[in-house]
Amino acid sequence: MSTIRFLTGITPSGTPHLGNYAGMLRPAIAASRSREVENFYFLADYHALIKCQDPARVQRSTIEIAASWLAAGLDPEHVTFYRQSDIPEIPELCWLLTCVTGKGLLNRAHAYKAAVDKNHADGTETDDGVTAGLFMYPVLMAADILAFNAHKVPVGRDQVQHIEMARDMASSFNHIYGGEFFTLPEAQVEENVATLPGLDGRKMSKSYNNTIALFSSREQLRKLIGSITTDSRTPGEPKEVEGSALFQIYQGFASEEETEALRRQYAEGIAWGDAKQQLFERIDRELAPMRERYEHLVAHPAELEDILQAGAAKARRETLPLIRELRSAVGLRSLAQAPVAAKAKAARQALPQFKQYREADGKFYFKLVAADGQLLLQSLGFDAPKEAGQAIGQLQREGETALSALQPRLQPADPQLVLAALQQLRDAAE
């Protein structure tokens, strides 16, 4: 099976909080340690401009969030860690996707609908205060994902819709331009920690001002946990875990055994002060070792900049070849080339072809056939059609490099004939 790509990011519009860590940073960093996973993590600073027009706040938040990733254990030597605005191919891809995306799809986006509903409730114009940036947010998010053909995107449950929309956009582009340009991404939601409640019981969010900063001092962490909303039940009186923000936050950090122990204590009537002390000790035990690294990086932002610039160079080795292929696919080509329609018509009659199909064993295969019908390349079986499609796309983009990398999944073939056929396909697309 080919390497799975994970991609995730966080918007630098505020100080990272426990919800960001438990729902995104921690599972993403854990995934980065697998040899079977290729990881792309980014600072979504273009997205920040939708929410924040304070330049100093955007820069400060970028520093804090970059430092948080690294302090939490992200290794930039083994992953691609970059700042969104350092990758010019992303906004270009955003425009290409915009041109194949129906406005009706964007009308259904949760953030936009919430803004419209609020306006209606307030008796104002439907789009009052709605910027084009807010409306186009799902397209930019899709460009973030598709620029790297990510397979999995760790998100909170409220973000799943955006992954589904990215799939729609990728499918539309693939269909319109007749190729396997994009992998269809999938959302990965960690059910137990996808969304943590905040101090007031609502979802922990900067917009609700109910967060617990990830790297609060020990004293501030204790104070914030002490302010979590609880009910009026007294010590000794059984308490419900259902709807308890305190219990849900604890569950996001504790093991199953620790969680069950606190559940029993709730039933036995633990005092709220004692429960909050347990929550404080559990969170502080996990975060305390990271604080020193975080505080050093925040105090030395030039170190962060060097790391991000190295990550951008690494990321663009992926995005530059893809955007060249996409520009050619949509017709943004040299005017010295033959007219596209005439060239495409002639090419269809004399080009090798990839053919993808399913066999009786339930697996998915592909083959490369010359214009005269000669079999040039035959794959072994893949478990899913998208895996076969990804392998085809990799061969078309990378040629000899991909042929070598995929060799365990291919039956013996004359590499020179295959490479010549792949070159024909690339030439025809230019």
CA distance 171 to 146: 11
DSSP code of 354?
E
CA distance 427 to 344: 11
CA distance 297 to 300: 5
Indicate the length of the chain as a whole number: 430
Has 244 been labeled as part of a binding site? no
Has 8 been labeled as part of a binding site? no
Say if residues 244 and 228 touch (Cβ distance below 8 Å): no
Has 158 been labeled as part of a binding site? yes
Has 255 been labeled as part of a binding site? no
Dihedral of CA atoms 386, 387, 391, 393 in degrees, nearest 10, equals: 20
Dihedral of CA atoms 229, 235, 240, 246 in degrees, nearest 10, equals: 40
181 is written with which tokens? 């340009």
CA 71 to chain centre: 20
Has 227 been labeled as part of a binding site? no
CA 8 to chain centre: 3
CA distance 81 to 305: 11
420 is written with which tokens? 């010549």
Has 343 been labeled as part of a binding site? no
H helices of 108-190, in order, are: 110-122, 132-146, 160-177
Has 383 been labeled as part of a binding site? no
Which distant-in-sequence residues (6+ apart) come within 8 Å of 400 by Cβ?
415, 419
Has 311 been labeled as part of a binding site? no
Written as one string, the DSSP assignment of 336-401 is TSPPHHHHHHHHHHH--EEEEEE-TTS-EEEEEE-TTS-EEEEB--BSSHHHHHHHHHHHHHHTHH
Has 136 been labeled as part of a binding site? no
352-387 burial, b for 16+ CB within 10 Å, e for fewer?
bebebeeeeeebbbbbbbbeeeeebbebeebeebbb
410 is written with which tokens? 């291919």
**3-state SS assignment for residue 429:** helix
CA distance 389 to 395: 10
Has 172 been labeled as part of a binding site? no
Has 339 been labeled as part of a binding site? no
For tokens 């993403």, what's the residue? 28
In this structure, the number of other CB atoms found within 10 A of the CB of residue 183 comes to 21
Has 210 been labeled as part of a binding site? no
Say if residues 396 and 412 touch (Cβ distance below 8 Å): no
Distance separating the N- and C-terminal Cα atoms of the chain: 31
Has 140 been labeled as part of a binding site? no
Has 179 been labeled as part of a binding site? no
Has 263 been labeled as part of a binding site? no
Annotated binding site for L-tryptophan: 144
Annotated binding site for ATP: 11-13, 19-20, 156-158, 196, 203-207
Annotated binding site: 11-13, 19-20, 144, 156-158, 196, 203-207
